[in-house]
Amino acid sequence: MSEMLTKEPVRTGEQSIGGLFLAVLKRDLLLSYRCRSDLVNPLIFFLMVATLFPLGVSPEPDFLAQVAPGVVWVAALLATLLSMDSVFRSDYEDGTLEQTLLSPQPLFVVVLGKITAHWMLTGLPLALLAPLLGVMLFLPEGGMGGLMLSLLLGTPTLSLVGAIGAALTVGLRKGGVLISLLVLPLYIPVLIFGTSAVQAAVTGLPLDGYIALLGAMLALGIGLAPLAVGAALRISVSG
């Protein structure tokens, strides 16, 4: 990674923040693209979880239509959680993470780049796939737009907060379930406003308030989460 960033001749002070962000984003997207099967797993999981509800509870259209917003959101949440562990793990294992922490580049930007890559590969596809689940769960058509919009705004926040959990546990051998335990309570506000947005869309009420709140949480996440992630990464690597 340091190789990619320092491939250009050293131009102190000229390396822009935007350039750094894009370089990190490109690298992570490229690395993930090489392992395409991993990309599809969260999406399959997403579909399967949504299928569990009709099978486990009831396939009645009336019932499913009522629970559809919540079910899709919970499935998206769980699928995101499942994929969180991989954000930093491969870099940690081959030593790249340590190099990144030692480099003079601002950690905030690097972290933001990695999380954006993760979102583009998990949250974004989930949001785009969601209407399919909506159809399977008899979500009324008026709700589809709200579903996608709420997920588009909510999943980045999920990636940001999930990255905190991933960073805290990257040094541990068995990170998996622990990340979920740490991060799920923090996901609850996003879940509440996300599902409310969809329900408002279904009943034809204005979405503005919920979208604004989701946006506010995203803004807070973008501002603060990379700080926590950076601190957590330093702790995990040095520990």
Contact criterion met (CB below 8 Å) for 100 and 117: no
Picking from 140, 128, 126, 111, the residue whose alpha carbon sits closest to that of residue 21 is 111
Which of the residues 194 through 233 are near another protein (CB under 8 A)? 196, 217, 220, 224, 228, 231-232
Q: Applying CB under 8 A, which of residues 13, 104, 185, 204 lies at the interface with another protein?
A: 185
End-to-end CA distance of the chain, in Å? 22
Is the Cβ of residue 1 or residue 190 nearer to another protein in the bound state?
190
Q: Using an 8 Å Cβ cutoff, are 164 and 228 in contact? A: yes
Q: Tell whether residue 188 is a contact of another protein (CB under 8 A).
A: yes
Look at the block and give the residue holding tokens 């905030």: 108
For the bound state, the minimum distance from the C-beta of residue 148 to another protein, rounded and expressed in Å, comes to: 21
29, 39, 47, 184: residue in contact with another protein (rule CB under 8 A)? 184
Q: If binding is defined by CB under 8 A, does position 181 make contact with another protein?
A: yes
| Residue from the set 138, 176, 189, 222 that interacts with another protein by CB under 8 A | 189
Name 218's Cβ contacts closer than 8 Å, sequence gap at least 6. 153, 154, 156, 157, 160
- Of 39, 124, 182, 222, the one binding another protein by CB under 8 A: 182
Question: For another protein, how many residues bind (rule: CB under 8 A)?
Answer: 27
Q: Assess 239 for contact with another protein (CB under 8 A).
A: yes
Report the half-sphere exposure of 121 (CA within 13 A, side-chain side).
29
- Distance, in Å, from the CA atom of 154 to the CA atom of 156, rounded to the nearest integer, reads 6
238 contacts another protein (rule: CB under 8 A): yes
For helices 36-56 and 123-136, the axis angle rounded to 10 degrees is 30
Cβ 175 to another protein shortest distance, Å: 9
Please report whether residue 92 would count as binding another protein according to CB under 8 A: no
169 binds another protein (CB under 8 A): yes
Region binding another protein by CB under 8 A among candidate stretches 40-48, 86-94, 134-142, 169-177: 169-177
In angstroms, the CA 107 to CA 11 distance is 19
73 contacts another protein (rule: CB under 8 A): no
Report the alpha-carbon distance of residue 167 to residue 87 in Å, rounded. 8
Rounded Cα gap, residues 198 and 210, in angstroms: 9
Select the residue interacting with another protein from 79, 139, 160, 164 (CB under 8 A).
164
Q: Write out the residues near another protein by the rule CB under 8 A.
A: 164, 168-169, 171-172, 174, 178, 181-182, 184-186, 188-189, 192-193, 196, 217, 220, 224, 228, 231-232, 235-236, 238-239
